[in-house]
Amino acid sequence: MTRSGYSDDCEYLELYRGAVRSALRGKRGQAFLREMITAMDAMPVKELAHGTLIPAPDRPEKCCAMGAVIRSRDEIDRAVNAKIDPGEPHEVARFLGIADSMAAEIASINDDGGPPGETPSERWARVRRWAERQLVATKCPRCRGTGVARPDDPRGDDACRKCGGKGLVSAEDAEYG
């Protein structure tokens, strides 16, 4: 079994995958994905470690995708003092304020989602692409276009890719007014 907690036991797999989808698509999950992308983009060395949640003081660049968020929040000391077990997704999730299933999924993508022999920089690029693909399409009230907000936009995380306008709302919210 890996740090994600996933195993070969596939009992209730459809229900679990549904929980992962809900966690990733929800408001809290979308906000965390945007924060993770921003944290990864801010990394001085664009490399992700396998199985390392909390960056070591002497090697702050060595962490996983969720560790990059911990570092960007400047919460490394608090994470160390909390004695988070990186192999327990519910502990990581509680610390980061995300769903257990989302923490397990991100750990699995980070640690187990790549090909054998993948370099840390290839892992960074793959995980970042995955995170960006998880962002839900949104509607812009200005141009009525559908586009994903750009996490690196200085106008904020609700800037339209098409027209740059502010105030994107999720496609589901736009449906209901």
The residues near 69 (Cβ < 8 Å, ≥ 6 apart) are 32, 35, 36, 39, 96
Residue 148 reports pLDDT greater than 60 = no
User: pLDDT (tens digit, 9 = 90+) per residue, 96-147?
Assistant: 999 999 999 999 999 998 899 999 999 999 999 999 999 886 666 666 665 5
Whole-number percent of the chain with pLDDT over 90: 40
Average pLDDT over residues 77-101: 89
pLDDT-derived band at 92 (thresholds 50, 70, 90) equals: very high
- What's the chain's length in residues? 177
The residues near 153 (Cβ < 8 Å, ≥ 6 apart) are 159, 164
State how far the Cα of 1 lies from the Cα of 112, in Å rounded to an integer: 11
> What pLDDT sits at residue 106?
95
Q: 139 has which bridge partners?
A: 146, 169
> What pLDDT sits at residue 176?
36
> What pLDDT sits at residue 41?
94
Residue carrying structure tokens 């339209």: 160
State how far the Cα of 164 lies from the Cα of 150, in Å rounded to an integer: 9
Which 8-state DSSP code applies to residue 146?
E
> What pLDDT sits at residue 83?
86
The domains of the chain are located at: 13-135, 136-177
- Of 27-41, 53-67, 142-156, the range with the highest mean pLDDT is 27-41
State how far the Cα of 108 lies from the Cα of 102, in Å rounded to an integer: 10
Residue 11 Cα to chain centre, angstroms? 25
> What pLDDT sits at residue 173?
46
The pTM (predicted TM-score) of the whole model is 0.74
